[in-house]
A and B are shown apart, each in its own frame.
Chain A
Amino acid sequence: MITPTPDGELLRIRGLSKSFFGVEVLHGIDLTVQAGEVHGLVGENGAGKSTVMKTLAGVHTADSGSIELDGKEVSFDHPLQAQRGGVATVFQEFNLLPERTVAENVYLAREPRSGGLVQRRRMEQDTASLMQDLGIVDIDAGAKVRTLSVAQQQVVEIVKAMSFDARLISMDEPTAALADHEVELLYQLIGRLRERGVAVLYVSHRLQEIFDLCDRITVLKDGSLVDTVESNEITPDELVRKMVGRTISSFFPEPREGTEIGDIRLSVRQGGNRMLNGISFDVRAGEIVGLAGLQGSGRTEIAHALFGVERFTRGSITVDGRTFSPRSPRQAVRAGLALVTEDRKAEGLALNQSVAANARLVLDAALPGRGSSRAARLSGILSSLELAAASDAQEVRLLSGGNQQKVVLAKWLVTDPQVMVLDEPTRGIDVGAKRAVYELMRDLTAEGMAIILISSELPEVIGMSDRIVVLNDGEISGELPHNTDEETVMSFATGQDNVEAAS
């Protein structure tokens, strides 16, 4: 399968760096791609893969470093420039108009015209012949995009890229939305692109695909280049090690002395819905259970099921031994659950309201009868979290990410929850605030709270959890002890060599 046809270097990225608001997320990345090469780009969540792709696509502009195409330095300020320059990107979200035809989408905004009128027939003929060249037979150029399958829509995106004479096509998790038999069609199409000398930059979490398709693989980690390797010279295990290879620092506080793991607080048995299947796990008082898994593996879906947002349609939940089938967040709150949501700004806070209003929102919204006595404790809770705000009246949109998260934590802590679900609790907050969150989790478990920690950051899950439940594709692929190494967790999360890794 791996038959590189290097007829020259197409793309050379040198020393690419990028910061967002003072935080450098790419540290001098070097990358070369040959014409006709399929080049894999792998790394954990947050390693910088998307930033590299978006910089290449003209969505972001690099702070320093250079991008050369065919030996000429280029700088794209806008995705359209990149497209015209021969660099096309197929994102996970397609940019197609569902009510327009395939041909209209391919030639959108540059339709062949004659005397001001669109030459519909020529447009369809051109599209059809382009598809024929690429060996695509099952798509009608005159069909509305809405009527096509997801896989076919992806093909249309690629056809559109080729109509710009793209030299390089980046694909971000192209198989994420595809069924197994559709993946094979994508493989064939990529094979034909390679024959035409088009280079493909292939981003995926699925190691199987990376090894099936790619000639070379570049590994990123925490925004730095780890290595670029020939794919036939590395084993999957070695690759995973390169992706995660780091030591757990002493950044994570140890459990407080006297923290006891007690009775089962929350128990899920055979829970399932549209996204999940056969979910069973327990969380005990004083325990932190980590939920690990890749994006879309079902971590957040479990939190939503526990909170009555997207319910389990199968299986059962018990809280403190009592059966519990939440139909709304309100019921979950009243049963003693708390959920620190993944998306702080969209789901966690009313940004135009004050610190005080947000901090007591759960009391106001779900527990109005018991509000005033508990609200009196709020200022104590906020100061113990070391919230930095001008006053309680300050609007939370003006706070830093870390302080916003403290407000979210306070609004849940004031309800005295039995079980707390923390979904990406340290996402987008600074190191000091992260440390504060970790310390808080240790304090809470010492007091007997049960905590479920959901995180994309493996060191965090491993460093904080007493047990780690690993998810893959909506099912639990393994339950691992707290001192598990990152490679093992990653193997379970990618569905790679379960048996071997468990040994």
Chain B
Amino acid sequence: MSSASPAATGPLGAVRRIFGGGTGPVFVVLLTLLVVMLLLNPSFFQPASLMAFLRNAAPLIILAAGQYFVIVSGEFDLSVGSLVGAQVVIAAKLIDGDESRTWPVIMLMLGFGLLVGLVNGLVTTLLKVPSFITTLGMMLVLAGAIRLWTGGAPTGALSESFRQWGRMGIEVPVLRQIPYAALIMIVIAVLTVLLMRGPYGRTLVATGDNDVAASFAGAQVWQVRTLAFVLSGLLATVAGILIGGFAGVTAQVGDGMEFTAITAVVLGGVVLGGGRGWIVGAMAGALTYRLLERLLVQLDMPSTLNPTIQGVIIILALAYGSRRLWGRRRRRAAQPITTKPQPSGAE
């Protein structure tokens, strides 16, 4: 896959990346949506409106990046939505409007995100619980624990210095204000792309493709996968900080975001089951999803339709992806015949 093969350069590689591989279609869809938007509402492209859109899209893009690590390793993380919600509630309760507590609490939240990821990872890899179940359990545990701790309704308040990350930005000419959220998203994008191009990233993708081969090559598969869950937990925490700042504290924060993030990753051409897909595709998938939502608002479609759209996207994206899988499966069915006669299988 592109992420694992820095050698995919040159014009031919670029063409193949866009149309042949799994990540290509998302950019085509993104571009199409942008054109449609330009036709319907050119004012969307005014700096202020565009920046507001980016600020709104940044948390999902960051969540999708985290989810990408887990999915490309062949697992799922369903706990991120609950984690976002839990982090916002924790922040409000612990900061309780006190500016001086902002940074210590942010550190504590990152620690908590790391811990949740670590537990997800270790339970999945060492106790061999399927990650679908592990993280589903974690989702319920977090939701229940937060409800118990807060007595049902979130209490406390966020500080201004906490909220600024989600709602403020840097004043610059022309664009007027670049949201912190967009800057953080860009920094995370750069860091995660670098990580995926390094030894860890390449080992992660290979592990998702064939963990036996990765293990024979000397990878500690359980460590590789656990780290993917930890990254997902950390990035969900960052997303939680931005969402809390932007949207404020409610009991519903984060609800359903795990499925939105998975939809975005799948839309970005990353194959469920692991081993295929590019992290930039996953993040572009999140951007595309948010743009589609925005477009529906533009078309005066009720936002209550969003879950339906999400469902259609996930089914279409998977059906599109499985066209290739079907081809592979047919070939694979033919393979045993080529290899069996000489080797020994049954002799």
Report the Cα distance A332→B218, complex, angstroms. 8
Residue B337, interface by CB 8 Å: yes
What CA separation (Å) do A411 and B219 show in the bound complex?
13
Q: Which residues of B contact A356 (CB under 8 A)?
A: 4-7
Are A365 and B212 within 8 A (Cβ)?
no
Distance, CA A45 to CA B344, complexed state (A): 6
Query: Is the beta-carbon distance between B210 and A351 smaller than 8 angstroms?
Result: yes
B235 to chain A, nearest CB (A): 22
Interface string of B182-218 (1 = CB under 8 A from A): 0000000000000000111011011001101111111
- A46-B347, A50-B341, A354-B5 in contact; A366/B212 too (CB < 8 A)? no
The answer to whether B339 and A428 have CB atoms under 8 Å apart is yes
Report yes or no: B346 in contact with A353, Cβ–Cβ below 8 A.
no
Q: Are B216 and A307 closer than 8 Å at their CB atoms?
A: yes
Q: Any chain B CB within 8 A of the CB of A471?
A: no
Q: Is A459 at the interface (CB under 8 A from chain B)? A: no
Shortest C-beta distance, A383 to chain B (Å), equals 14
Interface size class of A (residues with CB under 8 A): 35 or more
Cβ-defined partner of B215 (8 Å) among A329, A371, A401: A329
> A82 within 8 Å of B by Cβ?
no
Measured CA separation A203–B345 after assembly (Å): 14
Q: Are A46 and B220 in contact (CB under 8 A)?
A: no
Instruction: Give complex CA distance A172, B214 in Å.
Output: 34
A21 to B13, CA, bound (A): 31
**Does B343 lie at the interface of the complex (its beta carbon under 8 Å from any beta carbon of A)?**
yes
B46 in the interface (beta carbon within 8 A):
no
- The answer to whether A361 and B346 touch across the interface, beta carbons within 8 angstroms, is no
Report if B308 contacts A (CB, 8 A): no
Complexed CA–CA distance, A474 and B205 (Å) = 37
A354-B217 contact, Cβ under 8 Å, with A50-B347, A173-B347, A365-B203: no
Q: Is the CB of B338 within 8 A of A428?
A: yes
Residue of B nearest to A304 (CB): B216
User: With an 8 A cutoff between CB atoms, is A392 at the interface?
Assistant: yes
Q: Which residue of A lies closest to B275 (CB)?
A: A352
Which residues of chain B come closer than 8 Å to A21, judged between CB atoms?
Answer: 337-338
Bound-state CA distance A356–B202 (Å) is 10
Given A354-B5, A411-B217: A364 in contact with B347 (beta carbons within 8 A): no
- B328's nearest neighbour on chain A, judged by CB, is A397
Contacts of B5 in A (CB 8 A): 353-354, 356-357, 392-393
Which residues on the A side are within 8 Å of B339 (C-beta)? Answer: 345, 427-428
Chain B residues with CB under 8 Å of A49's CB are: 347
How many B residues touch A, CB cutoff 8 Å? Answer: 40
Once A46-B342, A424-B343 are accepted as A-B contacts, the answer to whether A357 and B4 lie under 8 Å apart by CB is: yes
Chain B residues in 8 Å Cβ range of A93: 346
Smallest beta-carbon distance B224→chain A, Å: 8
Interface string of A323-361 (1 = CB under 8 A from B): 000001110111000010100011111111110111011
Contacts of A92 in B (CB 8 A): 346
Interface residue from B8, B13, B206, B338 paired with A350 (Cβ < 8 Å): B206
State whether A353 and B215 are in contact (beta carbons under 8 Å apart), knowing that A49-B347, A328-B220, A360-B202 are contacts in the complex.
no
CB of B346 within 8 A of CB of A366, answer no
Let me know if A367 is at the binding interface, CB within 8 A: yes
| B206 and A347 contact, CB distance less than 8 A | no
A391 at interface by CB-CB < 8 Å: yes
Cβ-defined partner of B342 (8 Å) among A25, A54, A393:
A25
Q: Does B1 contact A (CB under 8 A)?
A: yes
Is residue B276 within 8 Å, beta carbon to beta carbon, of the partner chain? yes
| Distance of A366 Cα from B215 Cα, bound (Å) | 9
A349 to B335, alpha carbons, bound, how many Å? 15
With A361-B203, A368-B199, A411-B217 given, is the CB distance from A353 to B341 under 8 Å?
A: no
Out of B4, B6, B218, B342, which one reaches A366, CB within 8 Å? B218
Q: How far is the CA of A353 from the CA of B214 in the complex (A)?
A: 12
Is the Cβ of B213 less than 8 Å from the Cβ of A46? no
Q: Find B8's partner among A173, A364, A393 (CB 8 Å cutoff).
A: A393
With beta carbons under 8 angstroms apart, the residue of A20, A329, A427 that contacts B218 is A329
A353/B209 in contact, CB under 8 A:
yes
With A50-B345, A50-B346, A364-B199: A354-B338 Cβ-Cβ less than 8 Å: no
For chain B residues 306-347, which have a beta carbon within 8 Å of chain A?
A: 328, 335, 337-347
Chain B residues whose C-beta falls within 8 Å of the C-beta of A17 in the assembled complex: none
Chain B residue at smallest Cβ distance from A331: B218
CA distance A21 to B339 in the complex (A): 10
Among B8, B212, B335, B347, find the residue whose CB has the most chain A CB atoms closer than 10 A: B347
Q: For residue B345, which residues in chain A have a CB less than 8 angstroms away from its CB?
A: 50
Complex: A91 Cα to B341 Cα, angstroms: 15
CB distance from B139 to the nearest CB of A (A): 30
Interface centre among B1, B200, B346 (most CB of A within 10 A): B346
Contact present for A350 and B209 (CB under 8 Å): yes
> Which of B216, B275, B276, B338 is the one whose CB lies under 8 Å from A341?
B216
**Which one of A348, A363, A424, A428 lies within 8 Å of B199 (CB-CB)?**
A363
| C-alpha spacing A51/B343, complex, angstroms | 11
Q: Mark A303-326, 1 if CB is under 8 A from B, else 0.
A: 000010100000000000000000
Per-residue CB proximity of A102-122 to B under 8 Å, as 1/0?
000000000000000000000
**A-B pairs with beta carbons under 8 Å apart, 18 shown:** A20-B338, A50-B341, A51-B341, A329-B217, A332-B218, A346-B210, A350-B209, A350-B214, A356-B5, A357-B5, A358-B206, A361-B206, A364-B203, A365-B217, A366-B218, A371-B199, A391-B13, A427-B339
Sample of 18 more A-B contacts, CB < 8 Å, known A60-B337, A330-B220, A363-B199: A25-B342, A46-B341, A50-B347, A51-B341, A53-B346, A92-B346, A295-B347, A330-B218, A350-B206, A351-B210, A356-B6, A357-B202, A357-B206, A361-B202, A361-B217, A392-B7, A456-B343, A456-B344
10 closest A-B pairs by beta carbon, nearest first, are: A366-B218, A365-B219, A354-B5, A368-B199, A350-B209, A357-B4, A333-B218, A364-B199, A392-B7, A393-B8
B residues lining the A interface (CB < 8 Å) = 1, 4-8, 13, 198-200, 202-203, 205-206, 209-210, 212-220, 275-276, 328, 335, 337-347
- A residues contacting B by CB (< 8 A) are 20-21, 25, 45-46, 48-51, 53-54, 60, 91-93, 172-173, 203, 205, 295, 307, 309, 328-330, 332-334, 339, 341, 345-354, 356-358, 360-368, 371, 391-393, 397, 401, 411, 424, 427-428, 456
